Homo-oligomer: A and B are copies of this chain.
Amino acid sequence: MSSCDLLIVGAGLSGATMARLAAEDGLTITVIEKRDHIAGNVYDEIDELTGIRVSRYGAHLFHTNDEEVWRFVNRFGRWTHWAHKVLAESDGRLVPVPVNITTVNTLLNTTITDEQEMKEWLVTETTKHELPCNSEEVALNRVGPRLYSKLFKDYTIKQWAKAPSELEPSVLERIPVRANFDERYFSDRFQGLPTDGYTSIVRNMLDHPNITVKLSTPWDPLIQPYWHELIFTGPIDTYFSGLPPLEYRSIDFEWIRLANSGFYQPNSVVNYPSPETPYTRTVEYKHFLNQKSNWTIIAKERTTDTGEPYYPVPTRENREIYAKYREKAEKADGVHFVGRLASYKYFNMDQAIRNAMDYYATSLRSRIPTHT
């Protein structure tokens, strides 16, 4: 092989993980990134005016049960334990999500006190669609009509611009319901935030003599032949042409800085399920790791159709279109599609890393002659 074994398109978590693993195997890697910074959507930085660390593409909360992934990310910087919580505003009250006993007691004026009572309450409250065929039926099965209407229905419409009844069951299948008072958003074994930010973690992953990173360098098919293998982590429909584009949802961030201010809201993330509020949620970054500042900085997030691709839209149509891209991908030689955008699938951060690790071990490492 030439001195350039691998070309990786995209310097996000998936690209950086692949680059690091290959570099440690002795390969030489070039990473190109169309943005002017590394770390993809986990990019964070200290906001100049407020001194507060913010994530430019939305809050990222690391959580995993995967001990190997946890050990891997801990190689590249310190992590601080952080149990993420989300509140939702409904009927003028702020309640925990996922739904737990406090959510029910606050919104429905009950006095449920333990797991058994909550389970009994759920049995009477929820419906029993045996084989739910869309996300509305899934939600009614899980939380019943009242909480569905207060917390999920309109939020889902704002998030997806589609009614839950039009969305595949998978969208709301994952909403947890806690029959206890646990307010954590995630229940994974390992939860934390990188003490010095995600950008620093990714920078340390890419900090290896075998890795060259070129920023502000968009993908160009003309350069592909110069590398032995190509790893493409961008949207799969920007690599192949001749098929209908895939649908993505994006996020519009309205940044607000407040001077001489404590906190804007009592928690890092407040969801707004009500159709009257135009944004889906507000994120106040000062809460994360209890940052100190005389300012505070808030992002009001609206989900939109246009902009940077964030979320694949989970409808049957999109799944069918993606299957056609997948077919082309499997036929393409020397090019590998890895990561959230290339897989047209929502990955949590730990899933993105696990996926990249597995892909590297099973499909890539074997293709590259051993270096000595």
Nearest-Cβ distance from residue A65 to partner chain B, whole angstroms: 8
Q: A253 at interface (Cβ–Cβ under 8 A)? A: no
Contact, CB under 8 Å: A181 / B83: yes
In chain A, residues 218-276, which have Cβ atoms closer than 8 Å to a Cβ of chain B? 258, 260-267
Contacts of A105 in B (CB 8 A): 81, 83
In chain A, residues 197-233, which have Cβ atoms closer than 8 Å to a Cβ of chain B? none
Contact, CB under 8 Å: A296 / B262: yes
Q: A184 at interface (Cβ–Cβ under 8 A)? A: yes
Q: A180 at interface (Cβ–Cβ under 8 A)? A: yes
Closest B residue to A67 using CB positions? B111
How far does the alpha carbon of A296 sit from the alpha carbon of B94 in the complex, in Å? Answer: 18
Q: A290 at interface (Cβ–Cβ under 8 A)? A: yes
Q: A109 at interface (Cβ–Cβ under 8 A)? A: yes
Nearest-Cβ distance from residue A261 to partner chain B, whole angstroms: 6
Number of copies: 2
Contacts of A262 in B (CB 8 A): 258, 261-265, 296
Q: A106 at interface (Cβ–Cβ under 8 A)? A: yes
Contacts of A258 in B (CB 8 A): 262
Contacts of A287 in B (CB 8 A): 266
A184-B181 contact, Cβ under 8 Å, with A111-B189, A263-B264? yes
Contacts of A190 in B (CB 8 A): 111
Contact, CB under 8 Å: A183 / B183: yes
Contacts of A181 in B (CB 8 A): 83, 181-184, 187
Q: A328 at interface (Cβ–Cβ under 8 A)? A: no
Interface string of A47-82 (1 = CB under 8 A from B): 000000000000000000000000000000000111
Contacts of A80 in B (CB 8 A): 93, 106
Q: A92 at interface (Cβ–Cβ under 8 A)? A: yes
Closest B residue to A94 using CB positions? B290
Closest B residue to A287 using CB positions? B266
Q: A113 at interface (Cβ–Cβ under 8 A)? A: yes
How far does the alpha carbon of A25 sit from the alpha carbon of B190 in the complex, in Å? Answer: 60
Q: A159 at interface (Cβ–Cβ under 8 A)? A: no
Interface string of A81-109 (1 = CB under 8 A from B): 11100000000111000000010011001
How far does the alpha carbon of A156 sit from the alpha carbon of B21 in the complex, in Å? Answer: 52
Contacts of A264 in B (CB 8 A): 262-263
Closest B residue to A184 using CB positions? B181
* Residue from A94, A113, A266, A287 having most chain B Cβ neighbours under 10 A: A266
16 A-B residue pairings within 8 Å (CB atoms): A80-B93, A80-B106, A81-B102, A83-B102, A83-B181, A92-B290, A94-B290, A102-B184, A180-B180, A181-B184, A183-B183, A261-B261, A262-B262, A262-B264, A262-B296, A263-B264
